[in-house]
């Protein structure tokens, strides 16, 4: 401990005001660059559709990591002589500080780096973490921001990555399967209803018809549950898409005389 | 299937009919690919920053050709000749046993001229029948029907002899009650319950129905795409179709030759421009789109423009000359930008159904009346769509088609394979 203290003292003894200012300018430039990228690129991505939007959004955290690494490589030699002893002293002290004082913070920082490498979620992905569902808006150094369908921003520390199940709806692509459910009273022609609901899937202008449109059915105690599965044109259309499928499906089924089941109010409370 | 027909093809159908799997987009230069990508990207980013409703305008100062001159230099093709060429190509494919089905399906991109040709088959319209006479199957007025009604309707049609459907897209609507007619027809075709026939189908309509009925393998054919060489020959053929006079076309910027494709035997070796390759790429090898861009790129010399008579454009005895503006200097229609889905819905519906009237657009897209009117007028101002005077149906314009297809693709819509 004493050796490390002496090493640190030696490492920083040669720092001059000029070097400090120079380092501060480099850091400021890096921060400014990161700020501009974080503001500009998502804005541009918002004007594009399809894959181009996802690629642009995904490039933001990578660009930021690159800038941070380059900044460290540039700033350290400005402040201290990059000898082996100095590096051991600085990183040793840094490790201790992070280990004790900022354990959780460091945990999230490291998970953030792993996130960029393993990519369990990227900007533009629709994910569910701990029951919260939304689109990943940005991936920060420590945490990711998701926006829920109700326009609420939720901050998810990257540290959750280690011990939480993360469900990713589109996993970096623009294909996100949606499911519209129909709970129907029994005693109807099941095959006809399946065919009708498949037609509903193909009739919706939101449907990406080159992807499968599938109807599955399950027999429940109260009747039959149909699940119409299809892909919207873009993941951000998912709620309008499900609404459209539900509305069209309800119309078709009503016209065909198929009854929906409804749970009595007392039972649903 | 064979790789490609090696026999001589009619000039009105260069390359003949090929299997859909053999179709490939005309080759594109790296420079053109980059230019197109940058142009498309900037067009998308420009959304809301500039006036996007300005119609097409040319960026050069040279005088355009008059309509009369265009009718002589780049007239619309003779669709009766195209109909004959289609039949010849089908007969060739049957002879070589490449086509063994009773009913041939020709799935062609929009503006290929297949619909126009198929309504001119022998026995239909004014053309007299030498050999077999074709029976036209026209769609019912009401396309919304259930399976039983569709069965009854097809039972009433005479599908025993040579029958033709010029455009299958006229037989359906993207609506839960609008699928029955084509579903029933495909079932009858697959099970062999119909006589010999010919079905024309828009490639967009075909793409949808391939997804809807993935097991209906009907082996569609398609006209071969126009690459630079075929396109040059076809444009020469069109120019000579009126009065048999050849055309010489040169670039306005560097004077390089565009047409004729081949050097005349008695002339010195000419340097040719890459315009035809760019045009083939820009039009995706589709004749109608290529012709529309070609007509817009033609220019007269000022001294020629003074002359009203197209015969004055002679270049020596028996020849005719004109100038061609590079594609870069030609401002093609650009897509009005909107964050709303309605513009995409409308354009996609128009391509799926090969044109629709307003009532049916509203039915298949769910876009309401005032919003629909606004969107259509915006698209019409941008030269992207037009309303047919007689039919009242809205269509995508041939000049606007390349940008419409590209935008729909980038907005996530399923697009045709051509």
Nearest in space to A183 (alpha carbons), one of A213, A214, A228: A228
pLDDT for B205 beyond 80 = yes
Nearest in space to B310 (alpha carbons), one of B62, B64, B68: B68
A191 touches chain B (CB under 8 A): no
- CB of A113 closer than 8 Å to CB of A99: no
Q: Can you give the length of chain A in residues?
A: 269
Domain end position, chosen among B331, B352, B367: B331
Nearest to B414 among A44, A208, A248 (CB): A208
- Is A210 close to B207, i.e. CB distance below 8 A? yes
> Are residues B307 and B270 located together in one domain of the fold?
yes
pLDDT at B317: 47
Q: Read off the DSSP letter of residue A207.
A: B
Q: Which residues pair with B57 in a beta bridge?
A: B331
- Is A44 close to B410, i.e. CB distance below 8 A? no
- Is A205 close to B45, i.e. CB distance below 8 A? no
What DSSP string runs through A71-137? Answer: HHHHHHHHHS---HHHHHHHHHHHHHHHHHTSHHHHHHHHHHHHHHHH-S--TT-EEEETTEEEEEE
- Give the β-pairing of B394-396 and B385-387: antiparallel
**Count of the separate structural domains present in chain B:** 3
The answer for residues whose C-beta is within 8 angstroms of residue B187's C-beta and 6 or more apart is: none
- Give the β-pairing of A224-230 and B298-299: unpaired
- Does residue B231 lie in a domain region? yes
> Are residues B278 and B364 located together in one domain of the fold?
no
CA-angle at B69, arms to B259 and B400, nearest 5°: 75
Give dist(CA B23, CA B18) in Å, integer.
7
> Are residues B115 and B202 located together in one domain of the fold?
yes
The per-residue pLDDT of chain B, averaged, comes to 85
pLDDT band at residue B287 under the 50/70/90 scheme: very high
- Is B212 close to A209, i.e. CB distance below 8 A? yes
Range of weakest confidence among A151-160, A230-239, B170-179: A151-160
pLDDT for B408 beyond 50 = yes
Q: Read off the DSSP letter of residue A143.
A: E
**From the CA of B359, how many Å to the nearest CA of chain A?**
16
Q: Residue B304: which H helix or E strand, with range?
A: helix B302-306
Q: Which of B350, B413, B415, B416 should we substitute to test contact with A (largest number of A Cβ atoms within 10 Å)? A: B413
> Are residues B108 and B214 located together in one domain of the fold?
yes
Question: Would you state the torsion angle of the CA atoms of residues A95, A98, A99, A100, taken in this order, to the nearest 10 degrees?
Answer: 130
**From the CA of A117, how many Å to the nearest CA of chain B?**
27
We report the CATH number of the domain holding residue B388 as 1.10.10.10
B179 touches chain A (CB under 8 A): yes
Q: Which fold has domain A178-268?
A: Alpha-Beta Plaits (3.30.70)
Which residues of chain A lie closer than 8 angstroms to B212, CB-CB? 202, 209
pLDDT for A237 beyond 90 = yes
We report the CATH number of the domain holding residue B214 as 3.40.50
Higher pLDDT among residues B45 and B35, named by residue: B35
> Are residues B106 and B206 located together in one domain of the fold?
yes
Higher pLDDT among residues A189 and B2, named by residue: A189
A252 touches chain B (CB under 8 A): yes
- Is B211 close to A210, i.e. CB distance below 8 A? yes
pLDDT above 70: percentage of residues in chain B? 85
Which residues of chain A lie closer than 8 angstroms to B211, CB-CB? 202, 209-210, 213
Range of weakest confidence among B65-79, B277-291, B356-370: B65-79
Each residue of B310-327: pLDDT tens digit?
A: 444 444 445 678 889 998
Higher pLDDT among residues B354 and B69, named by residue: B354
Give dist(CA B336, CA B400) in Å, integer.
11
B345 touches chain A (CB under 8 A): yes
Which residues of chain B lie closer than 8 angstroms to A244, CB-CB? 366
pLDDT at B75: 92
A202 touches chain B (CB under 8 A): yes
Nearest to B412 among A50, A213, A251 (CB): A50
- Is B176 close to A199, i.e. CB distance below 8 A? yes
Nearest to A174 among B344, B349, B412 (CB): B412
pLDDT at A2: 56
Range of weakest confidence among A45-54, B154-163, B344-353: A45-54
B413 touches chain A (CB under 8 A): yes
Which residue of chain B comes nearest to A196, CA vs CA?
Answer: B176
pLDDT for B351 beyond 50 = yes
- Give the β-pairing of B163-165 and B135-136: parallel
> Are residues B213 and B312 located together in one domain of the fold?
no
Query: Against a cut of 0.90, is the pTM above it?
Result: no
Which residues of chain B lie closer than 8 angstroms to A248, CB-CB? 176
pLDDT at B241: 86
**From the CA of A213, how many Å to the nearest CA of chain B?**
9
Each residue of B50-109: pLDDT tens digit?
A: 444 444 445 456 777 888 888 888 999 999 999 999 999 999 999 988 888 889 999 999
Nearest to B176 among A48, A203, A210 (CB): A203
pLDDT for B378 beyond 50 = yes
Which residues of chain B lie closer than 8 angstroms to A52, CB-CB? 41, 410
B411 touches chain A (CB under 8 A): yes
pLDDT at A58: 72
pLDDT at B308: 47
pLDDT for B407 beyond 80 = yes
A244 touches chain B (CB under 8 A): yes
Q: Which domain holds residue B269?
A: 67-77+226-331
pLDDT for B151 beyond 80 = yes
pLDDT band at residue A266 under the 50/70/90 scheme: low
Options 3.30.70.141, 2.30.30.60, 1.10.8.870, 3.90.220.20; CATH for A126-168 is: 2.30.30.60
Each residue of A126-163: pLDDT tens digit?
A: 999 999 999 998 888 788 899 999 999 999 988 888 88
B377 touches chain A (CB under 8 A): no
Domain residue spans in chain A? 2-101, 126-168, 178-268
Higher pLDDT among residues B417 and A198, named by residue: A198
Mean of pLDDT values over B215-236: 92
The answer for residues whose C-beta is within 8 angstroms of residue B300's C-beta and 6 or more apart is: B62, B63, B64, B65, B69, B313, B322, B323
Which residues of chain A lie closer than 8 angstroms to B44, CB-CB? 47-49
Residue B367 has φ and ψ, to the nearest 5°, of -80, 125
- Give the β-pairing of B197-202 and B103-108: parallel
pLDDT at B312: 45
Number of neighbours of residue B304 by Cβ within 10 angstroms: 20
Give dist(CA B284, CA B292) in Å, integer.
13
Range of weakest confidence among A148-152, B3-7, B130-134, B382-386: B3-7
Which residues of chain B lie closer than 8 angstroms to A47, CB-CB? 44-45, 47
- Does residue B52 lie in a domain region? no
Which residues of chain A lie closer than 8 angstroms to B365, CB-CB? 205
pLDDT band at residue B1 under the 50/70/90 scheme: very low
B371 touches chain A (CB under 8 A): no
- Does residue B8 lie in a domain region? no
pLDDT for A57 beyond 90 = no
B44 touches chain A (CB under 8 A): yes
ipTM computed for the complex: 0.85
pLDDT band at residue A184 under the 50/70/90 scheme: very high
Mean of pLDDT values over A16-34: 89
pLDDT for A53 beyond 50 = yes
pLDDT at A5: 63
- Is A202 close to B207, i.e. CB distance below 8 A? no
A214 touches chain B (CB under 8 A): no
pLDDT for B179 beyond 80 = yes
> Are residues B299 and B264 located together in one domain of the fold?
yes
The pair of structure tokens assigned to B153 is 């309707």
**From the CA of A231, how many Å to the nearest CA of chain B?**
11
pLDDT band at residue A3 under the 50/70/90 scheme: low
Residue A100 has φ and ψ, to the nearest 5°, of -95, -55
pLDDT band at residue A259 under the 50/70/90 scheme: very high
> Are residues B322 and B344 located together in one domain of the fold?
no
Range of weakest confidence among B289-293, B297-301, B396-400, B410-414: B297-301
Size of interface A-B (CB pairs under 8 A): 67
pLDDT at B302: 56
pLDDT at A18: 84
pLDDT band at residue A79 under the 50/70/90 scheme: confident
């Amino acid at each position: 401990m004493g050796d490390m203290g002496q090493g640190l003292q030696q490492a920083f003894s040669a720092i001059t005001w000029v070097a400090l200012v120079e380092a501060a300018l480099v850091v400021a430039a890096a921060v400014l660059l990161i700020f501009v990228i974080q503001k500009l690129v998502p804005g541009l991505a918002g004007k594009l559709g399809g894959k181009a939007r996802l690629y642009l959004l995904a490039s933001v955290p990578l660009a930021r990591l690159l800038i941070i690494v380059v900044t460290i490589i540039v700033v350290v030699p400005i402040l201290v002589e990059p000898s082996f002893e100095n590096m051991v002293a600085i990183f040793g002290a840094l490790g201790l500080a992070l280990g004790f004082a900022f354990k959780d913070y460091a945990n999230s920082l490291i998970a953030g780096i792993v996130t960029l490498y393993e990519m369990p979620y990227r900007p533009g992905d629709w994910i569910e973490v701990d029951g919260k569902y939304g689109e990943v808006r940005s991936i920060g150094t420590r945490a990711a921001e998701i926006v829920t369908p109700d326009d609420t921003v939720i901050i998810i520390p990257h540290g959750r990555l280690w011990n939480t199940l993360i469900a990713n709806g589109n996993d970096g692509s623009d294909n996100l399967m949606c499911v519209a459910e129909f709970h129907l009273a029994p005693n109807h022609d099941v095959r006809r209803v399946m065919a009708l609901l498949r037609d509903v899937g193909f009739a919706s202008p939101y449907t990406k018809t080159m992807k499968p449109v599938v109807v599955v059915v399950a027999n429940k105690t109260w009747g039959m549950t149909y699940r119409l599965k299809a892909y919207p044109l873009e993941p951000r259309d998912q709620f309008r898409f499900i609404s459209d499928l539900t509305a069209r499906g309800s119309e078709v089924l009503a016209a065909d005389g198929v009854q929906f089941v409804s749970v009595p109010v007392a039972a649903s409370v | 299937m064979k790789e490609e027909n090696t026999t001589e093809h009619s000039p009105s159908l260069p390359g003949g009919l090929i299997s859909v799997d053999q179709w490939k987009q005309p080759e594109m230069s790296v420079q053109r690919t980059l230019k197109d990508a940058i142009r498309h990207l900037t067009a998308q980013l420009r959304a809301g920053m500039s006036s996007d409703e300005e119609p097409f305008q040319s960026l050069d100062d040279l005088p355009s050709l008059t309509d009369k001159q265009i009718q002589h230099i780049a007239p619309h093709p003779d669709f009766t000749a195209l109909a004959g060429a289609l039949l010849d190509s089908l007969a060739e494919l049957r002879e070589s046993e490449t086509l063994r089905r009773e009913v041939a399906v020709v799935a062609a991109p929009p503006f290929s001229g297949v619909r126009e040709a198929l309504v001119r088959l022998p026995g239909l319209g004014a053309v007299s029948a030498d050999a077999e006479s074709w029976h036209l199957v026209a769609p019912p007025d009401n396309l919304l029907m259930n399976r039983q009604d569709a069965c009854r309707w097809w039972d009433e049609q005479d599908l025993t002899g040579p029958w033709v459907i010029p455009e299958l897209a006229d037989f359906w609507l993207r609506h839960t009650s609008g699928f029955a007619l084509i579903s029933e027809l495909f079932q009858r075709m697959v099970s062999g319950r119909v006589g010999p026939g010919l079905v024309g189908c828009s490639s967009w309509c075909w793409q949808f129905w391939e997804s809807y009925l993935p097991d209906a393998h009907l082996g569609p054919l398609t006209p071969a795409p126009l690459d630079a060489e075929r396109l040059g020959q076809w444009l020469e053929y069109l120019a000579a179709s009126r009065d048999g006079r050849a055309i010489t076309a040169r670039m306005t910027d560097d004077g390089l030759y565009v047409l004729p494709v081949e050097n005349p035997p008695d002339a010195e070796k000419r340097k040719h421009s890459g315009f035809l390759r760019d045009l083939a790429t820009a039009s995706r090898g589709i004749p109608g789109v290529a012709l529309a861009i070609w007509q817009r790129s033609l220019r007269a010399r000022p001294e020629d423009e003074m002359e009203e008579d197209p015969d004055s454009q002679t270049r020596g005895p028996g020849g005719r000359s004109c100038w061609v503006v590079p594609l870069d200097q030609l401002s093609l229609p650009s897509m009005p930008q909107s964050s709303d889905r309605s513009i995409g819905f409308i354009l996609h519906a128009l391509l799926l159904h090969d044109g629709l009237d307003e009532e049916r657009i509203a039915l298949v897209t769910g876009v309401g009346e005032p919003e629909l009117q606004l969107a259509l007028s915006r698209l019409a101002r941008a030269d992207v769509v037009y309303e047919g005077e007689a039919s009242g149906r809205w269509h995508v314009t041939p000049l606007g088609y390349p940008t419409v297809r590209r935008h729909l693709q980038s907005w996530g819509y399923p697009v045709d394979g051509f």
